[in-house]
Chain A
Amino acid sequence: MTPRVAQMGLGAFAALFFLFIYAPLLLIVAYSFNSNPVNMMIWDHFTLEWYTGLFGLSERGPEIGDQNRALYLESTDQMLKALRTSLTVAAFTTTIATLVGTATAIALNRFRFRARPFYSGFLLLPMMMPDIVLGIGLLIFFVTIGMNLSMLTIVIGHCTFLISYVFIIVQARIAGIDPALEEASADLGASEWVTLRKVLLPQLAPGILGGALLAFVISMDDLVITYFISGTENTTLPVFIFGMIRRGVKPEINAIATLMILASVIVAGLGLWLRSRKAD
């Protein structure tokens, strides 16, 4: 094979590869602009109605009769409520997991005690655990201690494994920091607290932010574990969408999915940008 042919072959392969990965996403984006309310896979004409409907800007909705129309509006409400639940849960989870995960990573780095290797090992376990096991385990736990399923149980459940994610990312960053930096700070007259604030945390910032972003995305995305511990009152968006597949998919889902893709791209871009700014 001449290099030219090889290069063309490689180009074709790359194109197919990316098509394979991104085709489903592109379909969702395309359908989110399709005005056909009954079968969204049959192209009617271009519309922004599903987006405007999401934000309560359009009342029109599809032509489906008054009875169906009431049902339709109600389920739109539920979907928006699920989105709000997801965002609330993700916000709390991200905050807690980031604080606890970071503090744990710093503490484990600072203090060398006998049980340290076990401690690190056990912190990783929830990450490796199959979601379904974690979900059942959490459900049994909440039932056993008599805790009603609510937004609180979702937050607790998410924290159990997201702390591990933040911990791993921050710990990797700490391991790369020259221990002499903290000594230099102390040498120049800074107490431990000042050193933490002025040297360690700024040095860790990219790792902490990266961990927080990951925790947020995973919390927003989790279906299996949340399915077990969300109860009926507080469904998150993934659980709502999953349930909807049985009842028929609303076209607004495509609009929401497209917005989520957009948000993910922004978050991932932010993450990459932070990574590229690692300590020079």
Chain B
Amino acid sequence: MALLEIRGARRVFTTPEGGKVAALDGVDLDVAQNEFVTLLGPSGCGKTTLLRAISGFEALDEGSVRLDGSDLSRLPPFRRPVNTVFQSYALFSHMNVARNVGYALEVRGEARPLRETKVADALEKVGLSGMGSRRPGQLSGGQRQRVALARALVAEPRLLLLDEPLSALDRNLRQQMQLELKALQARLGIAFVFVTHDQEEALTMSDRIVVMREGRIEQIGTPREIYRRPRNRFVADFIGETNILVLTVERIEGAIARARTAEGCVIDLPSAGRAAGERLTAVIRPEDFTLGQAGIAGVVSRAVYLGSDLILFVRPEGGGAEIRVTARDRAGAPEPGAPVHLSHDPVAAHVLEGA
């Protein structure tokens, strides 16, 4: 049985203008013991609302939230065995770090010596040993983040909810915290539900990613599934750079189906499930194209420098949308204006569901 089961969750808000917004529009989700699940989607798609439905700060109009098989809907937030790391950290500025971290224990009425041991433990876990007597105002953003984490962990939740906890940190610190969070989660053996709108963050940390749009779940899968086998255009577009191609299948040749864009670019697909004359949408990632002597002929129109790699925008000779291609940045890399040929492994082309 899953640790957390959400069934048919619906929540409709009335906007100040009097309109209706379905922040959650029929969401089903299971989270297993010890799993790192990320809710990913653009701003306003309902991620926070879903998290708040789990923590109890938002009531559902329909549907249920179960933890370990028991219904949570009647429990107020302070009785739910779930803790949250808030986006703003929400540290208590009138208490020092140790008292912040020990707050859950203080409220429960645990004895002071036990409390102090647990607080010291938690501070050590997040790398803040000896900072207990500081005030939150005297800490850096990254340190506050860790205090918020320690404070939630001290309560020993079965499930930790994190609402965009890293979004206020600068890039280096964010990447470091991503790895630390993932390691911490694996070590503690509790489930994390992590919210982000940053696809890179989701890909790095998650066991499974839940892609949301407008209150609905578009796809649930491992990072690799989401990246390699997006179900539809929205997921393909939202996760990483990609080329979306509208194709018509011309003929099947053994394992390969040969398809063409309206402008005549030839794209090969795996033939399983394909039929001649079929119209479909396929995606090919920029790194799956190879620059060579054969394939789609075109001209480099722009090159975007990314460090070790370049993204080349190639305008096909026959016309149509530009194709994005990743190339190593080294001597002899094509400059804008250079003629190139693009080829790809048919297996790298992924056909989306629906047209």
Contacts and interface: CB of A to CB of B under 8 A. Distances in A.
Contact of A191 (B55, B78, B136): B78
A185 B103 contact: yes
Nearest to B57: A183
A203 B107 contact: no
Interface stretch (B24-32, B90-98, B179-187, B309-317): B90-98
Nearest to B81: A189
A181 B137 contact: no
A246 B261 CA distance: 103
Interface string A25-58: 0000000000000000000000000000000000
Contact of A202 (B94, B135, B137): B94
B53 to A, nearest CB: 14
Nearest to A206: B94
Contact of B151 (A183, A188, A205): A188
A131 B83 CA distance: 52
Interface in A154-211: 178, 180-181, 183-191, 194, 198-199, 202-203, 205
B155 interface: yes
Nearest to B104: A188
B320 to A, nearest CB: 49
A243 B84 CA distance: 64
B103 A188 contact: yes
A280 B79 CA distance: 30
Nearest to A179: B90
A178 B94 contact: no
B57 A189 contact: no
A128 interface: no
A153 B116 CA distance: 53
A58 to B, nearest CB: 48
Contacts of B106: 198
B78 A203 contact: no
B137 A280 contact: yes
Given A189-B107, A189-B108, A190-B107, A183 B90 contact: yes
A279 interface: yes
A interface residue count range (under 10 / 10 to 19 / 20 to 34 / 35 or more): 20 to 34
B84 A184 contact: yes
B77 interface: yes
B55 A187 contact: yes
B244 to A, nearest CB: 39
Given A188-B103, A191-B78, A180 B86 contact: yes
B93 A187 contact: no
B76 interface: yes
A107 B137 CA distance: 28
B93 A189 contact: no
B94 A187 contact: no
A261 to B, nearest CB: 33
A202 B95 CA distance: 9
A183 B86 contact: yes
Contact of A188 (B94, B135, B155): B155
Contacts of B79: 189
Contacts of B86: 180, 183-184
B43 interface: no
Given A178-B88, A178-B90, A186 B76 contact: yes
Nearest to B79: A189
Nearest to A190: B107
B84 A187 contact: yes
Contact of B104 (A183, A189, A280): A189
A190 B78 contact: yes
A198 B100 CA distance: 11
A241 to B, nearest CB: 42
A183 B78 contact: no
Given A180-B90, A187-B78, A202-B94, A194 B84 contact: no
A154 to B, nearest CB: 36
Contacts of A279: 93-94, 137
Most A CB contacts (10 A, CB to CB) among B57, B91, B92 go to B92
Given A188-B107, A188-B155, A280-B137, A183 B77 contact: yes
B151 to A, nearest CB: 7
Given A188-B151, A189-B78, A191-B78, A181 B90 contact: yes
Nearest to A279: B93
Contacts of B57: 183, 186
A186 B77 contact: yes
Contacts of B103: 185, 188, 190, 198
Given A178-B88, A178-B90, A203-B93, A187 B83 contact: yes
13 contacts: A178-B90, A181-B92, A183-B86, A186-B78, A187-B82, A187-B83, A190-B103, A194-B107, A198-B103, A202-B92, A203-B92, A203-B94, A279-B93
Given A180-B88, A183-B90, 6 more contacts: A178-B90, A184-B92, A185-B92, A187-B84, A189-B104, A194-B107
Interface of A: 178, 180-181, 183-191, 194, 198-199, 202-203, 205, 279-280
